[in-house]
Structure 1
Amino acid sequence: MRRYIILKYIYQRPIGKRDLDTGVLSLEKVLPAISTDTLPEHMVAELKSDPQVQLVVPTMPTRLISPVESKPVEQLMVLPAANWGIKAVRADRSQYDGSGVTVAVLDTGIDRDHPAFAGMTLIEKDFSDHGNGDRHGHGTHCAGTIFGRDEAQQRVGIARGVSRALIGKVLGDDGAGQSEMIFHALNWAMEERADIISMSLGFDFPGMVSRLTADGWPLDLATSTALEAYGGNLRMFDAIMAVLRAQAAFGVAPLVIAAAGNESRRAIRREYRIATSLPAAANDVISVAAVGRTDHKYEVADFSNIQARLAAPGVDITSAWPGGGLRTISGTSMACPHVAGVAALWWQFLRQAGIQPTARNVAARLISNARKDVFVANTDEADIGQGLVTSP
């Protein structure tokens, strides 16, 4: 028997809306009901025939997008209060700081006692069964780039005015998890009225094949089973994103941002470029590639996957690390929170301009203000998407 994720939709009429007998069409609020269960094949078939059930898909493993180690902070040419990524996205010039914006970080948790998060309201929820807190470091680093306060006289975060953050621990202390954890966390973040959701993680198709073959499965059967799980989880992710879009009428429309992945190897061969995968490849998710610095210009990182929508700094990024210090690492995992932080600035910008911020209009600002004139010559659009994300 295998473990499955089951999706149903629940419809509720919003309080205070007039109904049809008044002559006004009342909207219905769509709430996803997600459950998981270990089922035999005949039960799966029965569930799929139930008209109340939208999807039944097998779970699959997830993992953090493993960062690339960089030089120690003391060996980098980083001036105090001048983390290069913050300057590159022009957050240092912005009058906005993300005040009033709620950001959800779905990762390995957070070191809530780190000075970079002093005075913040951090709402933690563990979906991994490993307990709240960050004993890995990845989640703390990503959160620090989004909204961390200054540390050791160095600016850490982009949106330092964010005072409320949702921390969904969807990866265990070993950096691994299951897809059901992400789906439950997305639902939770929506219920908690997140404005922006940041995810630097991936659905582990190769890892699933490897584990099945290690258990004695024939390669073709293992690949077919993993492909079935990947396709089903893509449909599940797209279905949940559709629910998020439907909530726009009720003022709950979070913008979802995800890292493109670190599987490319341009240093081996220029054409060795891997496409963005889940969750970054799902509908309406802003996928993020990583870039580094060279000769006063920017270039795509060797490891960064292609077909992302935006690019952001992801090489030699210094941010918070569990235990109170800073650490410098690289990866599209580091680029993703740059976009989440800039999105918080644009969210505040629209609100102060008297425009109701939504996932759609904030995404439009991110894309329309991205820059392409800052890259080295002959940069392929497939590597950088619409360009380098830029603050208001």
Structure 2
Amino acid sequence: MHETHIILRRPSGEEPTRGTSFSVPTRGGPSTSKSVPSGATLAVDALDKKDMAELTRDPDVMAVAPSVPMRLIEPVGEDTAAEPAEEGIAWGVQAVGADTCPFTGAGIVVAVLDTGIDPAHSAFAGVELVQKDFTGEGNEDVSGHGTHCAGTLFGRATDGLRIGVAPGVKKALIGKVIGTRAGSSDQVASAVWWAVENGAHVISLSLGIDFPGLQKRLQDQGFPPQLATSRALEGYRANVRLFQTLADMVQARGAFLQTTLLIAAAGNESKRDVRADFEIAVGPPAVADGFISVAAVGPGEQGFVVAPFSNTGAQLSGPGVAITSARRGGGLVAKSGTSMATPHVAGVCALWAEKIKRSGLLSQLQLKTRLLGAATPASLQPGFDPMDVGLGLARAPQD
């Protein structure tokens, strides 16, 4: 039986060079191949056991994983009407210090890999939106999730409210990787490389592996429940390794071409509101080395507190409760989730990128160090668990 796989491979016997391509000969039909940074290529191909055996013996294969279902990290609770904010600035923008930052993200290219965007929304007026559909459904944002995330990252003021952390961004890459039929890891991997090759300095991902969906798909194919669970776990682990390899390649490219940071949501599966120890660890792709994972915090009585749904073990935190941003079709809406925290951190990253770029060469190490180093627990409510909030709340440069 042939199954769709994602393959990362380095050209045999060659030093990494940009733009080399390859395809794996299989019995499942033609492969789809994309050149990727540092001379590697990403291919999406239908493989059987014999093909897999050949690949495992190939020293040039860097990673191979079955394509697994991906899903949105859905907002928690019901969407609510946007409430008026003091000084006409959304609370999350103030919390990360973007409102007092001398930088706006000018000259920085950002990418949002999500459900698409509503390009007609006034929040995106004047922004060059480069859209690409990886789902086969067209670019339309049916759910509004991607529109909301994009509004938080780089949206212009809407209805008198500043919603965007980096409103000076002039170019945004919008990859639709989740549609009405969810998405897949091969679509997400392909979108990451598309964004990198099109100049993204910051990539925001508010999505995760749909493990129950993978398990169900295998059972629908006739696998008994135990075997389906085992196979699903194999696919899960293989995709974590694949995303880690992707991140490694992005980092390697940043050493001699363009810097790109990957910012991903930790997930919303924890249930601290039911019991304090009902916590779940960060899920993929955010858990993979090379991704910056983001937890969600909200206002508390004496400072910001971790959101009850936010998964534990993230590297840093962003505002993720009752976040007002762009609504599909126009206007504003408030949503909660680590999906909402992630574009706050991606926006802060864009502000740091502009600061560094203005003063000299923008490097991967410097950007990551500044972003993580500026995070602070100072505004968090006393008694917080560092495992829940990481290094603290992301903060924009102030000079």
Q: Which TM-score applies when normalising by structure 1?
A: 0.92
SS in 1 for 2:366: helix
User: What whole-Å deviation, never above 9, does each CA across 1:228-272 have from its counterpart, x for those lacking one?
Assistant: 111111111111111111112323120110000000000111000
The corresponding residue for 1:329 is 335
- The alpha-carbon distance between structure 1 residues 215 and 51, as it changes in their structure 2 partners (threshold 3 A), is closer
The corresponding residue for 2:273 is 267
Query: How far has the Cα of 1:38 moved from its partner?
Result: 2.1
- The alpha-carbon distance between structure 1 residues 353 and 59, as it changes in their structure 2 partners (threshold 3 A), is same
Quick check: 1:370 aligned with 2:378?
no
User: Using the alignment, how far apart are the partners of 2:239 and 2:144 within structure 1?
Assistant: 27
SS in 2 for 1:56: strand
Quick check: 1:91 aligned with 2:98?
yes
Aligned residues of 1:289 and 1:383 also touching (Cα < 8 A)? yes
The corresponding residue for 2:51 is 43
Aligned-CA RMSD value: 1.8
Query: How far has the Cα of 1:14 moved from its partner?
Result: 7.3
Quick check: 1:54 aligned with 2:59?
no
Residue type matched to 2:92 in 1? G
The corresponding residue for 2:28 is none
Residue type matched to 1:63 in 2? R
The corresponding residue for 2:392 is 387
Q: Which runs of 5+ in 1 are unaligned?
A: 16-28
Quick check: 1:109 aligned with 2:116?
yes
Residue type matched to 2:356 in 1? L
User: Using the alignment, how far apart are the partners of 2:157 and 2:17 within structure 1?
Assistant: 45
SS in 2 for 1:328: strand
Identity, % of aligned positions: 46
Aligned residues of 1:69 and 1:328 also touching (Cα < 8 A)? no
SS in 1 for 2:71: strand
Quick check: 1:314 aligned with 2:314?
no
Aligned residues of 1:80 and 1:155 also touching (Cα < 8 A)? no
The corresponding residue for 1:4 is 5
Aligned residues of 2:10 and 2:16 also touching (Cα < 8 A)? no
User: Using the alignment, how far apart are the partners of 2:169 and 2:337 within structure 1?
Assistant: 24
The corresponding residue for 1:33 is 41
Which of 80, 85, 97 is the aligned partner of 1:72? Answer: 80
The corresponding residue for 1:183 is 189
Aligned residues of 2:18 and 2:38 also touching (Cα < 8 A)? no
Residue type matched to 2:65 in 1? V
The corresponding residue for 1:23 is none
1:141-152 → structure 2 map (5 Å cutoff): 141-152=148-159
Query: How far has the Cα of 1:215 moved from its partner?
Result: 5.0
Query: How far has the Cα of 1:13 moved from its partner?
Result: 4.8
Residue type matched to 2:187 in 1? M
SS in 1 for 2:39: strand
1:165-204 → structure 2 map (5 Å cutoff): 165-174=172-181, 176-204=182-210
SS in 2 for 1:69: coil
Please say which of residues 182-191 and 366-375 is displaced more in the overlay.
366-375
Residue type matched to 1:6 in 2? I
Please say which of residues 54-63 and 103-112 is displaced more in the overlay.
54-63
Query: How far has the Cα of 1:190 moved from its partner?
Result: 1.3
User: Using the alignment, how far apart are the partners of 2:229 and 2:304 within structure 1?
Assistant: 38
User: Using the alignment, how far apart are the partners of 1:92 and 1:70 within structure 2?
Assistant: 28
SS in 2 for 1:6: strand
Query: How far has the Cα of 1:50 moved from its partner?
Result: 3.1
1:152-167 → structure 2 map (5 Å cutoff): 152-167=159-174
Residue type matched to 2:154 in 1? F
Please say which of residues 182-191 and 378-387 is displaced more in the overlay.
182-191
Please say which of residues 204-213 and 382-391 is displaced more in the overlay.
204-213
Aligned residues of 1:32 and 1:240 also touching (Cα < 8 A)? no
User: What whole-Å deviation, never above 9, does each CA across 1:186-238 have from its counterpart, x for those lacking one?
Assistant: 11111111100110000112321234335543222011111111111111111
- The alpha-carbon distance between structure 1 residues 384 and 48, as it changes in their structure 2 partners (threshold 3 A), is same
Q: Which runs of 5+ in 2 are unaligned?
A: 20-36
User: Using the alignment, how far apart are the partners of 2:180 and 2:109 within structure 1?
Assistant: 25
SS in 1 for 2:94: helix
User: Using the alignment, how far apart are the partners of 1:55 and 1:343 within structure 2?
Assistant: 28
User: Using the alignment, how far apart are the partners of 1:236 and 1:307 within structure 2?
Assistant: 20
Residue type matched to 1:38 in 2? A
User: Using the alignment, how far apart are the partners of 2:9 and 2:140 within structure 1?
Assistant: 31
Q: Which TM-score applies when normalising by structure 2?
A: 0.90
